[in-house]
Structure formats: structure tokens, C-alpha cells
Structure 1
Amino acid sequence: MRPPFMGFVRYDKDDLERLLADKKARLAQEVASEMAYFLADDDQSRITSQVLTGNAQQCLTDTVNLTQPQLLVLGTHGRQGISRLLIGSVATTFLSTLPCDVLVAR
């Protein structure tokens, strides 16, 4: 799976792989820092995080199949008007297709 719009980028394969690896490393460090702050008073050894690229639905499905969690928690974007009553398409798909419980929070 490739990040969106990668077809427009003109780098050779080695440069592109290095750029993606650098970006993922920076994001992983930022996620680790934020999680450490958020979970400062909790047992952090039971929490893991990953930075994945590609289609959100496929990445989450693959990760759930690999890790077999008891609960998947998804956040949805806030919407205006009638769309506030609906949840996102990714969250809707997960409500009925995953082999674990799903909690959707707005």
C-alpha cells in the first residue's frame, strides 16, 4: 500500500524509501511522546502504537487480524448538521465486520 498522491512524486526508489522511512520514524516518535504524556499515570507497558500508511480500513483490518484485540476504539470527526447523526464510513464498516467489540467516539 502506498500513501496518497505518491504517483505525483518524482524521486528514485531509494530516495522515496528513505523519505518514507524518515517520515514514519518522526511520526512514531511524536506518537510515543504524546502517548507517554497521555498515559503518564498508567501502566504504559500494556499499550502499543504503530504508524501505518495506506488505506485506513485495510490497515486497521490487517492490524486487528494480527493482534486480535478484545476492543477497538475509533474516533470520528465532528460534523455539522444532519451528518452529525451519522458516523464515518470506516467506523460503520467496522461495527459489523470485525471479530472484536468496537467503541466509536465522536
Structure 2
Amino acid sequence: MPAPSRILVPVDLSEGAQALIDYAIQFAKPFNASLEVIHAWEPPQYVAPDLLVAAPGWNSQSLEKVAVDAASKELNELVAKIPSPPVPIKHRVIVGEAASTVLRAAEEGKHDLIVMGTHGRRGLPRLLMGSVAQKIVARSNCPVLTLHLYEQAK
């Protein structure tokens, strides 16, 4: 198997996201691999994403635009914490269901590795929310490295 050259790093913008990005950078450095950090914003199923959000003195915007702008700001701040990254890093927010969006991004970007976190949910929370990491591992066309971030976020 060839060394990775393009690594996809999906993040959920939780507390463990910075540790995940830092790990991916250290992993990519010996291979001089590039990183693409993405966040998949999933529109809520019970609210239309084109619903207008407004407040006095504020231009009305769609819920999707407000949420994507907020997620983009958070993602920019995460990446900005890396003063001079030793590997090339791109980042973006994508709209869609998390697992399928990550899989599509990996395929379209011709990534040869996905490095992602898992929260280690068990029991009812896992049953109700599912496991994005599990879906990606099961369906990915490239290797997936999962890091247990549950303890780091506490």
C-alpha cells in the first residue's frame, strides 16, 4: 500500500476537533501529505434549511446560510490555531448528511486516507444517533483511521 498523500480530516467542531487536527498533521508530516479538513453541516430534518432567520436590525438570511457561516467561522478559528502548518492544509464546510458527505468528499478529492474522531457512544445514544464513524468505516473506498476522542473532550 502506498504512503498517503491526500488525507481527509472530517471534524464535528467539538472540543476534540483541535486534537484530531493536530494528530492528523503529525501523521501527515513524515509523508509530506496534504490535509483537507472538512465539517459536514447537516440540515435539521424538522426545519426547512431555507427558513428565514431574522432579528431587528439584521438582514434576514436562510437558516442554512446562518449555520454554514457560523460553522465556517469556527472551522477557520480551528485551522488558524496552527501558526505555520508543516503540511498544506485546506478547509471547508459542506452541507449534507455527515457520513455520505464525508464519503463523497473523500472520493471526489481522491483522498487516500480518512483520519477522524469517534466519541465512543454506546447503548441508547448510539442507537438513537448512530455512528458516523461506523458508517464511514463500513463504506469507505480508502483506509480510515479513527481516534477515540471521548476522553480528550472531557
Q: Same fold (TM over 0.5)?
A: yes
SS at match of 2:93: coil
Q: Determine the structure 2 residue equivalent to 1:75.
A: 117
Contact kept? 2:75, 2:91, Cα under 8 Å = yes
Q: Determine the structure 2 residue equivalent to 1:58.
A: 100
User: Aligned-pair distance for 1:35?
Assistant: 1.2
Structure 1 residue 23 and structure 2 residue 71: aligned? no
Could you say which structure has the higher strand fraction?
2
Could you say which structure has the higher helix fraction?
1
Q: Which amino acid aligns with 2:64?
A: L
Contiguous gaps of at least 5 residues in structure 1: none
Structure 1 residue 32 and structure 2 residue 76: aligned? yes
Structure 1 residue 95 and structure 2 residue 137: aligned? yes
Structure 1 residue 6 and structure 2 residue 50: aligned? no
Q: Once superposed, what is the RMSD of the aligned Cα atoms?
A: 3.2
TM-score by length of 2: 0.49
Q: 1:33 to 1:89 in 2, by over 3 A?
A: closer
- RCO comparison, higher one (Cα < 8 Å, 6+): 2
Q: How many residues align?
A: 96
Q: Distance in 1 between matches of 2:89 and 2:141?
A: 20
TM-score by length of 1: 0.67
Taking every aligned residue pair, what percent have the same amino acid on both sides? Answer: 26
User: Aligned-pair distance for 1:32?
Assistant: 1.0
Contiguous gaps of at least 5 residues in structure 2: 1-41, 54-59, 149-154
Contact kept? 2:43, 2:64, Cα under 8 Å = no
Q: Distance in 2 between matches of 1:61 and 1:77?
A: 19
